[in-house]
Amino acid sequence: MTTSSQALITVQNLAFSRGNHVIYDDVSLSIPKGQVTAIMGPSGIGKTTLLKLIGGQLTPDAGQIHFDGVDVHQCSRSDLFKLRKRMSMLFQSGALFTDMNVFDNVAFALREHSGLPEQIIRTIVLMKLEAVGLRGAAQMMPNELSGGMQRRAALARAIALEPELVLYDEPFAGQDPISMGVLVKLIRELSDALNLTSVVVSHDVQEVLSIADYVYVLADKRVVAHGTPQALRLADNPQLQQFISGAPDGPVPFHFPAQDYRKEMLGELD
Amino acid sequence: MSLIDHIANLGRNAIALVAGFGRAGLMLWGAIARVPNLAKGTPLLIRQLYVVGVQSMVIILVSGLFIGMVLALQGYNILVGFGTEDSLGPMVALSLLRELGPVVTALLFAGRAGSALTAEIGLMKSTEQLSSLEMMAVDPLRQIIAPRFWAGVISLPLLALMFTAVGIYGGHLVGVEWKGIDSGSFWSILQSSVEWRQDIVNCLIKSTVFAVVVTWIALYRGYQVIPNPEGISKATTQTVVQSSLAVLALDFLLTAMMFGS
């Protein structure tokens, strides 16, 4: 684990469950300032849930999550909203407001929180759209954009207020290779240019390993491995290597647990 | 299933019902129990008045016209048997003002605007727009729920008055233009029969109560939707069914309070 003195976010002994289904049991990790940290793991492991816990949208059963030293879940609602002005989230679906064009989507948070005059907001929005290559699409509605363009417009909106932290929820899911390449480039370059702390949740292994400074791998309700991308590639952990190589069978079995195949086919089950 | 299981199920359902009322109350409280920001809230309210109110006008006006015409035709056939067809005007007007105006408008509003509100908010939830607002430190109750609630509460009483006015005109078309009742007696008896407090104010009170209930149910169902297509479909159906039943039940209660004695 990286040193917590440089950490923007620390997660300590986190436990979270939905009903009887335990998602996390004693998870600890830290997200260093100014770096791209990836959180990887199989589908359904609860990676998005972790982002929602960090953003204070969900409350853990046990443990603490600190953002810049402040316990996210002990804040009042107004303090939580103050914290959220310092962070933003890129949702898997983009989550653009469907009744606003791209320009107004990006301008939304600025109009809500900055108090800046409209002329300056216009300049900032055009700069953000230029950064993601969508200045020419400013007047288009979200339903006129491709999936990749929606994700880029949402990214422009996410960095509009120049947050310290950006949480990326499956940014590459469902993207064609060109869009994926554009997003990989944007996430890395924006993080470096704006000195952002980025948390990328994804199971697109190669793309994530190409841009991450540090990686946590979640499985079985806990962190099963962490380290730099180079260290993880060399790690002697069969479960981790199966995940990185994408092997269909291994420690994570191909078959969902079931009763004996032969007996079931012959109708000999009790 | 044993008797104990039935009792346990009953208890669970009762707890779920009470918890649902609690969540709906908290949602509404969170949305409206604050000092409004007029600069930001007014444009949102005006937009929703257009979506919820103006876009419901066509169905309300057309329905009002036909219901007024049917009411007049049926009323005429009954009244003419007693030689009291001159009373057609007050019969149509009082039926519309006291009952059909508020009730039918609320039922149509639940089907047209209520279901649309539920589907819209449900879709916003399933596409993570509500979560996105929260992460941008903007309260979705204030940004999304409050303007829609106030738009519903303002629109429905006005729509009920329009429905009633058009219905009376429909009654006039059938009674006077078609069946030949004297226009002067139609309007003069109508005017002398309708009372401001008893009829028009009660019409507004009823439709305001219906507006609160229908809009509240629609917004709550959308806000609590299970965020997938099946959940949204189920929620819109629940909105129409529950709003309609609530309107009819409340109508009886309000009628008993207003006209029971």
Angle at B129 between CA B123 and CA B134, to 5 degrees: 135
A234: distance to nearest CA of chain B, Å?
Answer: 37
How does DSSP classify residue A114?
A: T
Residue A86 at interface with chain B, using a CB cutoff of 8 Å = no
The residue of A78, A106, A108, A161 whose CB has the most chain B CBs within 10 angstroms, and thus the best one to mutate to test that interface, is A108
Q: What is the pLDDT of residue A3?
A: 44
List, as ranges, residues 35-64 from B with C-beta within 8 Å of A. 40
Q: What is the pLDDT of residue A42?
A: 79
User: How crowded is the C-beta side of B108, counted as CA atoms within 13 Å?
Assistant: 25
Please state the separation of Cα A244 from the chain's center in Å: 18
Q: Among A52, A82, A95, select the one facing B129 at the smallest CB separation.
A: A95
**Which residues of chain A neighbour B124 with C-beta distances below 8 Å?**
98
Given an 8 Å threshold on Cβ–Cβ distance, is A84 in contact with B131? Answer: no
A89: distance to nearest CA of chain B, Å?
Answer: 7
CA distance linking residue B59 with residue B109, whole number of Å? 9
Given an 8 Å threshold on Cβ–Cβ distance, is B137 in contact with A84? Answer: yes
A190 and A196 in contact (C-beta within 8 Å)? Answer: yes
The H-assigned helical ranges of chain A are 47-54, 77-84, 102-113, 118-131, 147-158, 177-194, 205-211, 229-234, 238-245, 261-265
CA distance linking residue A247 with residue A240, whole number of Å? 11
The H-assigned helical ranges of A12-146 are 47-54, 77-84, 102-113, 118-131
What stretches in chain B show pLDDT beneath 70?
none
A252: distance to nearest CA of chain B, Å?
Answer: 29
**What is the per-residue burial (b if ≥16 Cβ within 10 Å, else e) of A3-21?**
eeeebbbbbbebebeeeee
The residue of B136, B138, B144 whose CB has the most chain A CBs within 10 angstroms, and thus the best one to mutate to test that interface, is B136
Element (H, E) at A69: none
Interstrand relation of A70-71 and A62-67 (parallel, antiparallel or unpaired): antiparallel
Given an 8 Å threshold on Cβ–Cβ distance, is A95 in contact with B134? Answer: no
Nearest-Cα residue of chain A relative to residue B30: A77
Q: In the A/B pair of chains, how many CB contacts fall below 8 A? A: 49
Q: What is the pLDDT along chain A (270 residues), one digit of tens a residue?
A: 444 448 899 999 999 998 888 899 989 999 999 999 999 887 778 888 999 999 999 999 999 999 998 999 998 888 999 999 999 999 988 899 999 999 999 999 999 998 899 999 999 999 999 988 899 999 999 999 988 899 899 999 999 998 999 999 988 887 888 888 888 888 888 888 888 999 999 888 888 888 899 999 888 888 888 999 888 888 787 777 777 777 777 776 667 778 888 888 888 876
Handedness of CA A67, A68, A73, A75 (dihedral sign): negative
Q: What is the pLDDT of residue A254?
A: 67
Nearest-Cα residue of chain B relative to residue A108: B136
Read off φ and ψ for residue A27, nearest 5 degrees.
-95, 130
Look-up of token digits 């407001």: A97
**Which residues of chain A neighbour B41 with C-beta distances below 8 Å?**
none
**Which residues of chain B neighbour A109 with C-beta distances below 8 Å?**
136-138
CA distances A57 to A52, A166, A186, A189, B51, Å, are: 5, 15, 26, 28, 30
State the pTM of this model.
0.86
A245: distance to nearest CA of chain B, Å?
Answer: 32
Look-up of token digits 């679906």: A93
Handedness of CA A139, B45, B250, B89 (dihedral sign): negative
Element (H, E) at A33: none
Given an 8 Å threshold on Cβ–Cβ distance, is B134 in contact with A57? Answer: yes
Angle at A51 between CA A49 and CA A57, to 5 degrees: 75
Domain coordinates of chain B in residue numbers?
A: 1-33, 38-259
B234: distance to nearest CA of chain A, Å?
Answer: 22
CA distance linking residue B133 with residue B143, whole number of Å? 9
DSSP string, B118-175: HHHHHHHHHTTHHHHHHHTT--HIIIIIHHHHHHHHHHHHHHHHHHHHHHHHHHHIII
Structure tokens at B68: 């007024």
**Which residues of chain A neighbour B132 with C-beta distances below 8 Å?**
89, 91, 95, 97
Given an 8 Å threshold on Cβ–Cβ distance, is B135 in contact with A113? Answer: no
Look-up of token digits 């007047």: A139
A217: distance to nearest CA of chain B, Å?
Answer: 25
ipTM of the predicted structure? Answer: 0.83
Ramachandran assignment for A41, one of left (phi > 0), alpha (psi -120 to 50 degrees), beta (any other): left
Nearest-Cα residue of chain B relative to residue A81: B137
List, as ranges, residues 94-123 from B with C-beta within 8 Å of A. 123
Residue B192 at interface with chain A, using a CB cutoff of 8 Å = no
B167 and B92 in contact (C-beta within 8 Å)? Answer: yes
B14: distance to nearest CA of chain A, Å?
Answer: 20
The 3-state DSSP class for residue B255 equals helix
